[in-house]
Structure 1
Amino acid sequence: MVRISVIIPTRNRAADLRRCLDGLAECAHRLPVGVALAQVVVVDDASTDPEATAPARDTGLPLVLLRNPVRLGAGASRRRAVEVADGDVLAFLDDDAVPRGDWLAVAAGVDADRPGITGRVLGFDAGLVSRARQARYDARYRDLGQGTPVNFFACGNGAVLASAFHRVGGFSNEGVGGDNSLARSLDQAGTPVRFHPDLVIAHRNGKGWTAAVHNAWSAGTNHPQRMTVTDLLDTGRSSAVGDNLAVRELNRALGVLHALGRLLPRAGDGTTQPTAPPHDTEGRGKPAAGHHASDGRPKSATAPTSTRSGAR
């Protein structure tokens, strides 16, 4: 029996969380023989909305609900959830994602030879920011086939064998590159993350202009690899993807902003330190010293690695 633990950080997104959990419930009803949903670990990152996790109360899913006493960010929330997750497979979703009906079944397919997978993203909302982000996803995944090694692990749509995750040290504690640090560690162990086109989510891409700018800058300043000025010029050209001028120019601007962040010196293990907490659950924060997960209780029962990186 393959047991799956699903991990979802959330903050002030009740409507998103309801869509996510409804989708996950559908997945749970379509599990093949030999696969079980062990638990869904939802981590409330100190929401100010008292109803932020209300959708988790009546899902019928095997829920573990944790709450951070202070805002820690999505990365720290995931690390906290991992401490209580006991599945053979750790599967990760963002709260604004809706997994396709076979998502859990696909996630259960990881094994010792291919312990980590990440998959496709489809958009379901409208607006320029959403179309621009979807264009970046589409461009990134266009040339990736089943089993293609990649150098990113998308925590909004990914699954990893728990034993492999713990063997390589899990996520980094630094910056927003924690998920990609897992990809580096798995690659160094000879088992790179692989692309799986059937691991599919629908994602609410558009969260406004402020969030788009903040996320591009944060992803750059906390990226594990520093960028050169030559790379910056190349980024201005290569990031202009999309099916119309407005989408292309927005992506060009966000790509350059991301690259400018990557020009800053790296610190420690290669990441800079964020100077302010993130605006939404796309950001990550460093957990408070001495903080451990302890209050969650179930409410109910060597291949070359692609140079592509995760979507900003």
Structure 2
Amino acid sequence: MSRARVEQEIRRFLDIGPVQVAELDLQGAEATLRPGPGSPPVTHGQVFLLVRRDGRPIGTLLGLVPEGADPKAALAGPARERFAAEAAAAEAPPTPHTGVPHTSVVIATRERADRLAHALDSMLAQDHADFEIVVVDNAPVTDATRDLVESKYAERVRYVTEPVPGLAAAHNKGVEAARGEVIAFTDDDVVADPRWLTELTAPFAADPGLGCATGLILPARLRTPAQVLLESHGGFAKGFTARMYDPADPPADEPLFPFTAGRFGSGANMAFRADVLRAVGGFDPATGAGTPARGGDDLYGFVRVLAQGHRLHYTPQALVWHHHRETWRDLETQAYGYGAGLTAYLTAILVNRPGLLPAFLARLPRGLAHARALTATREADAGGAPGGHDDRSHPWPRRLSRLQRRGMAYGPVGYLRARRALRAAVVSRGSR
């Protein structure tokens, strides 16, 4: 790709303006408008709007508040019109949860005490009746995280450390420390909706065959071009329709099931039945951020659980707000890391479960087509996905697609390097 083309893409990227984040709750004939977590009150301009009906998320849209207009009035009309069918369906009372399992919330972190504090505050505001919080300080270089937990959260939060760097290693330490029947995972850069944990874990009580659950991830802020660009192409969200993935009844629209694990959810919003996760050996410590593999630890967990015959449930009612990365350099790192994590996790699956190789090879031709589609340059599209979430209002830079393809080529190498590094670390500790 020519230097001139890269510079053109960067200039176009820098022209992307900020977008406000807000929530609009439709309650009968009334509507309540609130700013998103950490956002100021809505003024004029573009607004990324989460639309709720009596508190339940039903969709998103990109709204516009003209200068001098009342924000609520300007947004409520388009929201009611766009989501009339969804709002009507949401008027039916939800099936009440008959109970929630005792749950451990695991948050892995490394030198981000300021972000962690916001995440922990949102955890303590959960309406779940029976849960604990475990913070895993991964390869810390300062005492900032320990000091935060001990000074402000000691009564409600357990603090543990994991010296081996890497998100999967930190999550495994959390699994080891957890006491709950269900273990939920989220990141240190999220703010959780008050009903997040209840909505995420209640399905485990209703379905003994459920091994994993995932939920909805929306942007906490859209202040920088990088954040807006990522979210205009769908961000981390998986839609507003609940879905069950059952290995006994593979979805007809998922010919690569279960190897397209990125469709199931993300590590910032997932939960596992504790005994199921432990039975499959937890997460592969040679995957995940902080290792040469760069990512893939959550996808590995999803596929291992599904491959054991357990179901996975996605629910948009389990909502967290995520702080997206902020700069062009962040997006470059993220694109390369996602590509690497994808093929690293597939390598990890085949190394740890070689019996899945025939099924993988049978799906490989379609898998290659999927990979090409995944990294193809995304053109601007005024249509977008149902609910207006993935509006693709900004073209996806070719450079980011190229970096993701490079990452995919590197992923197996990165995974093998991570395994060697782990073996060396074990030998080193054993010789002391």
TM-score interval, normalised by the smaller of the two chains: 0.7 to 0.9
CA distance in 2, matches of 1:239, 1:141: 20
* 1:66 corresponds to 2:160: yes
Shift, 1:100, TM fit: 0.6
Q: Which deviates more, 125-134 or 207-216?
A: 207-216
Match of 2:396 among 244, 249, 252: 249
Q: Cα deviation per residue 1:147-173 (whole Å; 9 max; x = unaligned)?
A: 243724522111111122122222123
- TM-superposed CA distance for 1:36, in Å, is 0.6
- 1:127-166 equivalences in 2 (<5 Å): 127-137=224-234, 141-142=238-239, 145-149=241-245, 151=261, 152-166=264-278
Partner residue, 2:74:
none
Residues 195-216 of structure 1 show CA distances to partners (whole Å, capped at 9, x for unaligned) of 1111110110024333322222
Q: State the one-letter code of the partner of 2:238.
A: Y
Other structure's SS at 1:9 match:
strand
Instruction: Give 1:265 deviation, angstroms.
Output: 7.0
Measure the CA separation in 1 of the matches of 2:182 and 2:379.
34
**How much has 1:120 moved relative to structure 2?**
0.8
Deviations 1:107-166 (A, max 9, x none): 321422222111111112211111223234458523x62124372452211111112212
Deviation of 1:101 (Å): 0.1
Q: Which residue of 2 aligns with 1:189?
A: 308
1:10 to 109, 116, 119: 109
Q: Partner of 2:372: helix, strand, or coil?
A: helix
Alignment correspondent of 1:180: 299
Give the aligned partner of residue 218 of structure 2.
Answer: 122
| TM-fit CA distance, 1:228 | 4.5
TM-score for the superposition, normalised by structure 2: 0.55
Look up the match of 2:376: 236
Q: Residue 280 of structure 2 aligns with which residue?
A: 168
Partner deviation per Cα, 1:173-218 (whole Å, 9 max, x = no partner): 3322222111111221222422111111011002433332222212
1:72 partner SS: coil
SS in 2 for 1:42: strand
Question: 1:116 touches 1:158 (CA, 8 Å); kept in 2?
Answer: yes
Which aligned pairs between 1:1-312 and structure 2 lie closer than 5 A?
2-27=101-126, 30-31=127-128, 35-37=129-131, 39-57=132-150, 58-59=152-153, 62-69=156-163, 72-111=165-204, 112-125=208-221, 126-137=223-234, 141-142=238-239, 145-149=241-245, 151=261, 152-175=264-287, 176-223=295-342, 224-225=345-346, 228=368, 231-232=371-372, 235-238=375-378, 243=391, 247-250=394-397, 252-264=398-410, 266=412, 272-273=415-416, 288-289=425-426
1:60 Cα deviation after fit = 6.0
The 1-side partners of 2:401 and 2:379 are apart by: 6
Change (3 A) 1:24 1:248: same
Query: What does the per-residue CA deviation read over 1:93-116, in whole Å, with 9 as the maximum and x for residues that have no partner?
Result: 100011110112113214222221
**CA displacement 1:225-254 (0-9 Å, x = unmatched):** 487589436622358676466x4334x532
Return 5+ residue gaps in structure 1 as ranges. Answer: 276-284, 293-312
Tell me if the contact between 1:218 and 1:274 (Cα under 8 Å) persists in the aligned partners: no
Higher helix proportion: 2
* CA shift digits 1:20-48 (9 cap, x unpaired): 00000100xx22xxx411x2111112334
For the structure 1 residues 109 and 24, does the alpha-carbon distance in structure 2 shift closer, same or farther, using more than 3 Å as the test?
Answer: same
- Please give the alpha-carbon distance, in whole angstroms, between the structure 2 residues aligned to 1:230 and 1:156: 24
2:311 & 2:101 partners in 1: Cα distance? 21
The alpha-carbon distance between structure 1 residues 291 and 43, as it changes in their structure 2 partners (threshold 3 A), is farther
Structure 1 or 2, whichever has the larger Rg, is: 2
| Cα drift, residue 83 of structure 1 | 1.0
Deviates more, 1:187-196 or 1:87-96: 187-196
8 A contact 2:339–2:406 mirrored in 1: yes
In the alignment, structure 2 segments of 5+ residues that lack a partner are 1-99, 246-259, 288-294, 348-366, 382-389
- The SS at the match of 1:116 is strand
Does the CA-based 8 Å contact 1:172-1:179 persist in structure 2? no
CA distance in 1, matches of 2:301, 2:411: 21
Higher RCO by CA contacts (8 Å cutoff, separation 6 or greater): 1
**Deviation of residue 272 (structure 1)?**
3.2
Name the CA distance, whole Å, in 1 between partners of 2:411 and 2:110.
31
The 3 A distance-change label for structure 1 pair 265 and 13 is closer
Q: Is the contact between residue 181 and residue 273 of structure 2 (CA under 8 Å) also seen in structure 1?
A: yes
The CA RMSD measured in Å over matched residues stands at 3.2
Q: Distance in 2 between matches of 1:265 and 1:103?
A: 32
- What amino acid is the match of 2:266? A
- C-alpha contact (below 8 Å) 2:167/2:297 kept by paired residues: no
Conservation of the 8 A alpha-carbon contact between 1:220 and 1:262: yes
* Separation (CA, whole Å) in 2 of partners of 1:101 and 1:218: 31
Q: The residue matched to 1:2 in structure 2 has which SS?
A: coil
Contact 2:225/2:327 (<8 A) preserved: no
Q: 1:4·1:90 contact (CA, 8 Å) conserved in 2?
A: yes
Q: How many percent of aligned residue pairs carry the same amino acid?
A: 21
Change (3 A) 1:234 1:41: closer
